[in-house]
Amino acid sequence: MSEATDGCSVFTNGSCWLKADFHLHTKADKEFTYEGKDDTFVSEYIAKLKEQKIGVGIITNHNKFDKGEYKALKRKASKAEILLLPGVELSVGDGANGIHTLVIFSKQWLEGGDYINQFLTAAFAGKVPSQYEQENGRSGDDLIGTIRKLDDYHKDYFLVFAHVEQQSGLWHGLNGGRIKELAENEDFKQRTLGFQKVRTNDLRRKVKDWLKDWYPAELEGSDNKSIDGIGTKIEGTWLKIGDFTFEAIKYALADWDHRVKEQEPSNYQHSHIKSISFEGGILGGQQVEFSPELNSLIGIRGSGKSSIIEVIRYLLGIPFGDKTIDEKYKNELVKHTLGSGGKATIEVLDKHGQRYSISRILNDPPEVFVDGELQTGIAIRKTIIHKPIYFGQKDLSSTGEGFEKDLIEKLLGDRLTTIRRRISDQKIIISEQCDKLKNLGDIEEKIKEHGDKKGDAEFQLKIFQDNGIEDKLQTQTNFNADDRKIKKIIDDVKAYEGDLTDVVNQYEDELKNHSLYQSKQNKTFFDTFFLIYQFELEAFDDIKAELGKIRERLVELQDKSMEFFDLKTQQLDQFAQMRRALETDLKANGKQLNLEEFPRLQRTIENAEQLLASLTKESEKTTSIRSNLIQGLSTLNCLWHEEYQLIQDELEQINQKHTALQISGEYRGDKEAFLSYFQSVFKGSGTRKDRLKYLIDTYANFTDIYQNLNNEKSLPKDFEQHFTDNLKELLSWQVPNKFTIKYRNKELQQHSLGQRASALILFVLSQKENDLVMIDQPEDDLDNQTIYEDVIKLVRELKPKTQFIFATHNANFPVLGDSEQIHACKYAEEFSDNTGIQQEISIKSGSIDSPIIQQEIVNIMEGGEDAFNKRKEIYQIWKPQNS
């Protein structure tokens, strides 16, 4: 399970900035005034630190250390989540007036005794406490002698020189020659980590000139003479630390360029993930907290680092690139991590400080919540996490065919979403036009088919006409025609009534619900607006009323048609007698005619005429549809070009930020992909490859080929038919743009694997537009020198404005990158009598300052403490040879 630093909430999300006061006095100091009760001093003191938002304080009384008082203050401060370190303001016997030096001690000085007071007794040998426990007391040693005496205890400490510009300060108390001499002393430089209360720029420049290439942090301290003086009359110092330890403070001062600020740091301006929690699966019940800056997931292979990275990618809905390595493995990893029905939730802060929760159950879409309320329609990778970018294992070093396009897709993120949605909509229009054309292509056949039926029926009917049958059965013929017309009228009215009913049902509720709207901002306007809208509602009610009348008339028509049915029924016996008489006459004259065929032939001719009229109208639409298709294709081509231009604009901005690596594009430049697709569609058509290649070399895309088919007389006989059969697919297919990546003016493919990976990771990081960068094993194919000299230095520069989440085996990332949050992952299998083997990923979390995490780094990434110490010993042996 995750472990925090001693339960302290300050470092839940790793290292953070805390205000520090390096020069505090207490009641134990003779210069300190306190008129309150002794039993409330500690509470009042800590309350004042809290009020002044001081997270780190150093107790530095004049030549005095009160162990009992310090322990009481430290206990109370710990409960308030404030670190207090022991120290003294030592008056060193150097210079004309003595040099006030703040000595800050590690906890070793109070383990097994009080070695601080032992040191003070030795420093003021020959004097009693009453003679030196005050501001003007001077020790018997100079600065170098004091350092040696402190070193004799073999316990850690560091020095900060108090109020350096004042009479008893280092800069004022010593001349330039003496300061230059101190700057040449390695022990002095190693132990001195700060100058307090620097105020004069001219003097600062002079001192820096004396010290040459060495200069420690500039720090602040209250130098208070009462509780009310805590945190007042000082400029301020903020430290970035990740644990409440002496070592964390010491390291922050040693790396003061990155870890010390004189002004309170502003809030993070980039969106970032706060945490991810899991329900079910091998991480079930755990919550992993993230820093807004550098997060390192460490562990041996198979320890679960990639699981966390891939689940975050899954939650954010970041798509794989076309050239992603092991896409199936990564998807399976998400399934294995979450388990059936498993759920993960990330807490996110956007760049405005708005908090979101994004949850996703395995195989379900992600859901976004704000203040516990489900929100729909929010673009996760734009509105919430701004332009997150992800590279899985080997994704950066895999630079095979199509990698360039894949990289550009990742860099551009969702910036092409709008234009691609328009392209997709236009493709649908093209598809519909193609379907209409295909349907119209069958019309000529249908016209011929029904024309033939009509002609055949007319030929057969002529036999009846020649024998006078038509005239003799004219009454029956007329009745049948009337019957068909009545049925057609009723069917059309039914269809009209049905369609009108659908329209009314579709819009009735929506139109009437609009009237319920009440504007909070523009009530007067909407009162007038709805007066006009009321006329629309009244018109709609009129339509409903007319619909009722239509239904009434339909019933009347149906009833009336029954009268005709009765009338026709009355004639049936007469019609039958007439047919019998005709058949008798025909037989008498030796003629064989089936009179039942006569009405059937009449119906056939009538139906054929109706269909031919309808088909002829449809045929007349072909020209219009083909014209619409050409116009639609022109629009689609314009959209494709607009998409390319957007990409080009982005590439220009990207290229301006990185001179060594450049990306160039060629519109519709991927002719190989064009040919490959052409061949796949025309496989088995008998069209030779050289003819397809000729068309590709001659025309820009399938639209051009389609518009010029009539000009290509040398194409195979069946080519046009095959093209027409696949028209929808061909005309909607985009010839891919071609992109080329060059590194140092040479195509990336021509560089070594390591050079390619190095160039690409530096290129990706230097964009400075991605609020979140996630890379699984960024060190793959990179040498350690490149990692430190280029990658780590760039990450350290970018991390205040970019959240990084790296899964890594390389200690350079968490250690030299000064990782704000580290998660040490371990994959465990435990046997249970009830359920068999239980799989779980356990996680220890903390910053680089955490002793627990430091030990994990040594164990996981350095092969254990023995291996680490052995390498350290070997490097020390090598050092003289390299000097």
pLDDT band (50, 70, 90) for residue 883:
very low
What's the angle, vertex CA 160, arms to CA 157 and CA 162, rounded to 5? 140
Structural tokens at position 284:
């079930």
Helix locations, 167-296, DSSP H: 170-173, 176-183, 186-191, 201-211, 246-254, 256-259
Average pLDDT (233-253) is 92
Specify which residues 831 forms β-bridges with.
837
Structural tokens at position 848:
């680089």
Tens digit of each residue's pLDDT (9 = 90 or more) over 421-473: 999 999 999 999 888 887 766 666 777 777 888 787 777 667 666 655 655 56
Structural tokens at position 285:
């019940």
Predicted pLDDT of residue 867: 67
Tens digit of each residue's pLDDT (9 = 90 or more) over 542-600: 999 999 999 999 899 988 888 877 776 766 555 565 556 556 655 556 555 566 666 77
Strand pairing class (355-361; 821-832): unpaired
Strand pairing class (355-361; 373-375): unpaired
* Cβ 626 vs Cβ 614: under 8 Å: no
Q: What is the DSSP letter of 515?
A: G
Please enumerate in sequence order all residues whose Cβ is within 8 A of that of 678, keeping only pairs 6 or more positions apart, or say none. Answer: 692, 695, 696
3-state SS of 349-367 is ECCCCCEEEEEEECCCCCE
* Cβ 661 vs Cβ 742: under 8 Å: yes
CA distances from 188 to 172, 719, 736, 870 (A): 18, 88, 65, 29
If phi > 0 it is left, if psi is from -120 to 50 it is alpha, else beta; for residue 126 that is left
pLDDT band (50, 70, 90) for residue 16:
very high
* Helix pair angle (474-513, 597-620), 10° resolution: 40
Please enumerate in sequence order all residues whose Cβ is within 8 A of that of 80, keeping only pairs 6 or more positions apart, or say none. Answer: 46, 49, 50
- For the question of whether the overall pTM of this predicted structure is more than 0.85, the answer is no
Q: Percent of the chain having pLDDT more than 70? A: 88
pLDDT at residue 836 tops 60: no
pLDDT at residue 288 tops 90: yes
pLDDT band (50, 70, 90) for residue 89:
very high
Tens digit of each residue's pLDDT (9 = 90 or more) over 662-712: 888 899 999 999 999 999 999 888 888 998 999 999 999 999 999 998 888
Predicted pLDDT of residue 830: 54
CA 167 centroid distance within chain: 57
Dist CA 174 CA 389 (whole Å): 55
Dist CA 856 CA 781 (whole Å): 24
pLDDT band (50, 70, 90) for residue 4:
very low
pLDDT at residue 491 tops 80: yes
Dist CA 219 CA 215 (whole Å): 12
Predicted pLDDT of residue 881: 47
Dist CA 369 CA 550 (whole Å): 50
pLDDT at residue 476 tops 80: no
3-state SS of 423-485 is HHHHHHHHHHHHHHHHHHHCHHHHHHHHHHHHHHHHHHHHHHHHCCHHHHCHHHHHHHHHHHH
Backbone angles phi, psi at 655, to 5 degrees: -65, -30
Q: Which helix (H) or strand (E) holds 305?
A: helix 305-316
Place of tokens 């996110």: 348
Average pLDDT (848-872) is 79
What is the three-class DSSP state of 77?
helix
Tens digit of each residue's pLDDT (9 = 90 or more) over 136-171: 889 999 999 999 999 999 999 999 999 999 999 999
Which among 426, 425, 420, 432 has a CA at the least distance from the CA of 727?
432
Q: What is the DSSP letter of 384?
A: I
pLDDT band (50, 70, 90) for residue 103:
very high
What is the three-class DSSP state of 76?
helix
Average pLDDT (829-836) is 52
pLDDT band (50, 70, 90) for residue 739:
confident
Predicted pLDDT of residue 3: 36
Dist CA 723 CA 727 (whole Å): 6
Predicted pLDDT of residue 226: 96
Average pLDDT (750-756) is 73
Predicted pLDDT of residue 568: 67
Average pLDDT (235-254) is 94
Dist CA 648 CA 316 (whole Å): 27
Structural tokens at position 654:
């990207």
Dist CA 126 CA 216 (whole Å): 34
* Cβ 429 vs Cβ 639: under 8 Å: no
Structural tokens at position 881:
């040879």
Dist CA 501 CA 497 (whole Å): 6
Predicted pLDDT of residue 174: 94
Dist CA 52 CA 234 (whole Å): 11
pLDDT band (50, 70, 90) for residue 402:
low
Helix locations, 339-402, DSSP H: none
* Cβ 512 vs Cβ 537: under 8 Å: yes
Predicted pLDDT of residue 742: 83
Q: What is the DSSP letter of 9?
A: G
Residue ranges of domains in the chain, CATH in brackets:
15-261 (3.20.20.140), 281-388+770-882 (3.40.50), 439-518+534-618 (1.20.1050)
* Cβ 719 vs Cβ 706: under 8 Å: no
If phi > 0 it is left, if psi is from -120 to 50 it is alpha, else beta; for residue 17 that is beta
Structural tokens at position 806:
């790296």
Average pLDDT (491-504) is 90
- CA dihedral (782, 783, 786, 789) positive or negative: positive
Dist CA 811 CA 296 (whole Å): 10
Dist CA 104 CA 249 (whole Å): 10
Mean pLDDT of the chain: 86
Adjacency order of strands within the sheet including 192-196? 217-219, 192-196, 157-161, 99-105, 83-92, 54-62, 16-24, 237-241, 260-261
Backbone angles phi, psi at 294, to 5 degrees: -95, 125
pLDDT band (50, 70, 90) for residue 320:
confident
Which among 288, 266, 268 has a CA at the least distance from the CA of 277?
288
In single-letter form, the type of residue at position 148 comes to R
Please enumerate in sequence order all residues whose Cβ is within 8 A of that of 510, keeping only pairs 6 or more positions apart, or say none. Answer: none
Predicted pLDDT of residue 785: 72
Higher pLDDT, 321 or 259: 259
Predicted pLDDT of residue 549: 92
Higher pLDDT, 618 or 718: 718
Predicted pLDDT of residue 871: 62
Backbone angles phi, psi at 156, to 5 degrees: -80, 150
Most confident of 134-143, 252-261, 756-765, 863-872: 252-261
pLDDT band (50, 70, 90) for residue 348:
very high
Dist CA 351 CA 801 (whole Å): 10
pLDDT at residue 285 tops 80: yes
Specify which residues 827 forms β-bridges with.
841
Query: With 0-12 CB in 10 A as exposed, 13-18 as middle and 19+ as buried, what is 539?
Result: exposed
Predicted pLDDT of residue 239: 97
Dist CA 529 CA 535 (whole Å): 11
What's the angle, vertex CA 219, arms to CA 217 and CA 223, rounded to 5? 150
In single-letter form, the type of residue at position 853 comes to I
What's the angle, vertex CA 440, arms to CA 436 and CA 444, rounded to 5? 175
Predicted pLDDT of residue 831: 45
Higher pLDDT, 868 or 667: 667
pLDDT at residue 400 tops 70: no
Average pLDDT (767-791) is 80
